[in-house]
Amino acid sequence: MEGGVVRVAIAGGGTGGHVFPALCVARELRADPDPVQLLWFGQADSLEQRTAAADDIPFTAVAVGKLRRARNPLRMLTRANVTDMARVPVGVAQAVRRLSALAPDVVVTTGGYVAVPVGVAAGVLRIPLVVHEQTVGLGLANRVLARAAAAVAVTSDATVAVLPPRAAARAVVTGNPVRESVLAGSGPAALDRFGPGFERELPTVLVTGGAQGAHQINTAVAEILDSLLMQANVIHQAGASDLPELRRTAAALPGELAGRYFVTDFVDGAGMADALALAEVVVCRAGAGTIAELTALGKPAVLIPLASSAGGEQARAARLLTEAGAAVTVPGTVTAETVGAAVTGLLTDPDARARVGKAARELGRPDAGQRLARLVRTVAAGDPVR
């Protein structure tokens, strides 16, 4: 720490799940009265580079290597994997040079392939490392880095239980940061934007498979749309691929139901925050960012985990929430009938919705960004991690 300025290097990217926690901690560090100097490491021409530029955070690109995983280890010995893994030492060398020039007090990694070369470089230079894990189980990059980290920031107590003993001793439950805008949504604004034809006495269901949509969710909802609209208004972020078919389905709805259905390919950040504020039930995947937002807001949800998520992570997260009474997970094979039964169970029972929402809120950590920023400053100062 030089001249009272805390120097922090941040590495995280590839997907929004890694980028947004990095952005959140950067903003929280800047909001602190104590001055901070930031440098964000990522891949060139990437989401993280665009995000850093939008927030005027200095950015530097390093080479990364993507590991294409397979259940059979022999199938991982592909030309693409060998070529990409050869890039990792290059990235480490680049990170060593740039970290040496910055001389940061702490390095923070939030996952993604860029975390590995930067985290390894921090170890080479003996710079304290804070690793943040968004999911219940450690991702591949964080499994590599956690053993040498000064602190491992995790989303829940369940993660501490699966950490190696040495890493568990340095684990701190901070939660997964959520975007500030998510916590500031407006239900009335959502009605103005999405629901001029909504029946105000009915609850509203938000259906989303993420920015790209989810065909499995879209198909199930399309099959039960008539019965669903008898009970609720529906805001549906469907993605581009299924939008034409869903619009044809909407055009065939009886007049009294058609006004209760709003379907679009994509909802921007402010619109999604408003839709979440209005929704009394959310039908969605069980990704780490989604779970963090639902619990921070205390929203009852019907979770449809992505079966192909790495290590079955979404199924694990959904199971933990369901066991805590903080969500409903669609059991077994996902069909229109199983999705319809789960959603109807919440729509027809306001007390159940209240219980699930309360349990979700008790698991939520809306101050996760502040907690993570405090941990970063603690490690930067060389103070004990508790």
For the stretch 211-269, pLDDT in tens is 777 899 999 999 999 999 999 999 999 999 999 999 999 999 998 899 999 999 999 99
Instruction: Please tell me the predicted confidence (pLDDT) of residue 377.
Output: 97
pTM > 0.85: yes or no:
yes
Q: Check: CATH 3.40.50.1950 for 6-178+367-380?
A: no
pLDDT for the residue 83: 55
Rounded distance between C-alpha atoms, residue 137 and residue 110, angstroms: 14
E runs forming strands in the chain: 6-11, 36-42, 59-61, 106-109, 129-132, 151-154, 171-173, 204-208, 233-237, 261-264, 281-284, 301-303, 328-329
Which element (helix H / strand E) includes 1? none
Would you say residue 190 has pLDDT above 70? yes
Helices assigned H by DSSP within 71-152: 79-85, 87-102, 115-125, 140-145
Which amino acid is residue 218, in one-letter code? N
Which three-class secondary structure state does DSSP give residue 88? helix
Do 6-178+367-380 and 180-363 have matching folds?
A: yes
Taking only the tens place, the pLDDT of each residue in 288-321 is 999 999 999 999 999 999 988 777 889 999 999 9
Q: Measured between alpha carbons, how far is 214 from 238 in angstroms, rounded to an integer? A: 7
Looking at residues 120-148, what average pLDDT do you find?
Answer: 91
Domain limits of the chain? 6-178+367-380, 180-363
CATH of region 180-363: 3.40.50.2000
Arithmetic mean of pLDDT over the chain: 92
pLDDT recorded at residue 70? 46
Residue 2 in this model has a pLDDT that exceeds 80:
no
pLDDT at 304: 97
